[in-house]
Structure 1
């Protein structure tokens, strides 16, 4: 008997030290609370500050929310990393475009974080499937629902706080936390 591999989710921002690590760690925390071992969330950056840890302000947010900041090292987004993913979540529309440019086959499996959080409540998949199978079934339904939930860039993009004021870090947190909660919450109600 073989174990089902976890459903692989990649979060993507620019430097891979602020937004995508926060989304990664909070999604992993929320998804593990719903279905331990069913999901593997990682992150990368389109212009990564390779080898760095999570930015200290962001690390503080993650720890306060109950997530782990351990063993994180930023990495550059590559086609090879993208090839391994079941779902890719970008932090802006520009990141989503870069992802699709690097690996066009991911067009139908790439959403912005806030876009996916808006779409998921409208997606209903059959009960009785494993968490991984439910997420696989969700993707084409979310892709079709995307056209019903058109939005402006400011509704999809998470602000980049790097080297900016505390207020901008707080805005990033306000953009990310409800979205990651909505995504992991969708899992909760379907397991």
Structure 2
């Protein structure tokens, strides 16, 4: 389990015919309300971006999602799945989850859609305060961090170390770098809205994720990911 400080999680990998030390991973948890719109979009966009930049090394960064009022076992909302397809991102196999204590305990970094979600995660305890941010808050803090101060990410172990260092640096900046207004750190809920509004929310999420993924991996994007409908 993640220690109270929010360090990387040890994941035991049973070897063949012998013992081996546990493999370390860094767990990122995206949180919204129902876990059928915003957090699934963010989860799948993050996974896609990490795989695109890191290939097999992306396995060191485990990306999941849950909802504070999650529709347990529910499929992704149809518009959310459709627009992920427009980005060329796989939406298959997703099922909604209600946010549980174990999800917060195991997460090394929690990124929420709104400040209310962030407050709900922190209220669960588990020393979550220093590792829980809204997505756009984390993006804002990441942009202020000197990437040269972070460890390199040439190996899976260094990748995990870099992710932990980034989360700690962002936590240290919080309170010093304030949002310009109350809504700046939030992604609004598109549930029940028409597809064009979903597209605008998904693009808002993609833009917020780009500097985060770059900071996590140390690898710049190979191009701009855009919905095929807009190409």
| More displaced stretch, 63-72 vs 156-165 | 63-72
Which residue does the alignment assign to 1:136?
164
Q: Which runs of 5+ in 2 are unaligned?
A: 1-19, 221-231
- Within 5 Å, give how 1:1-191 maps onto structure 2: 2=21, 4-35=23-54, 36-123=58-145, 124=147, 125-128=149-152, 130-151=158-179, 152-189=181-218
Larger radius of gyration between Structure 1 and Structure 2: 2
C-alpha contact (below 8 Å) 1:14/1:47 kept by paired residues: yes
TM superposition shift of 1:100: 0.3
C-alpha contact (below 8 Å) 1:93/1:153 kept by paired residues: no
TM superposition shift of 1:5: 2.5
Q: For 1:190 and 1:103, how far apart are their aligned partners in 2?
A: 34
C-alpha contact (below 8 Å) 1:8/1:84 kept by paired residues: yes
TM superposition shift of 1:80: 1.3
| Partner secondary structure for residue 23 of structure 2 | coil
Q: TM-score, normalised by structure 1?
A: 0.91
TM superposition shift of 1:102: 1.1
Q: For 1:91 and 1:71, how far apart are their aligned partners in 2?
A: 22
Q: For 1:128 and 1:177, how far apart are their aligned partners in 2?
A: 24
- Report the number of matched residues: 191
| More displaced stretch, 120-129 vs 5-14 | 120-129
Q: For 2:84 and 2:126, how far apart are their aligned partners in 1?
A: 32
Q: TM-score, normalised by structure 2?
A: 0.76
| Partner secondary structure for residue 141 of structure 1 | helix
Q: For 2:185 and 2:134, how far apart are their aligned partners in 1?
A: 6
Q: For 2:117 and 2:78, how far apart are their aligned partners in 1?
A: 23
| Partner secondary structure for residue 51 of structure 2 | helix
Q: For 2:150 and 2:73, how far apart are their aligned partners in 1?
A: 41
Of Structure 1 and Structure 2, the greater helix share is in 1
TM superposition shift of 1:63: 1.8
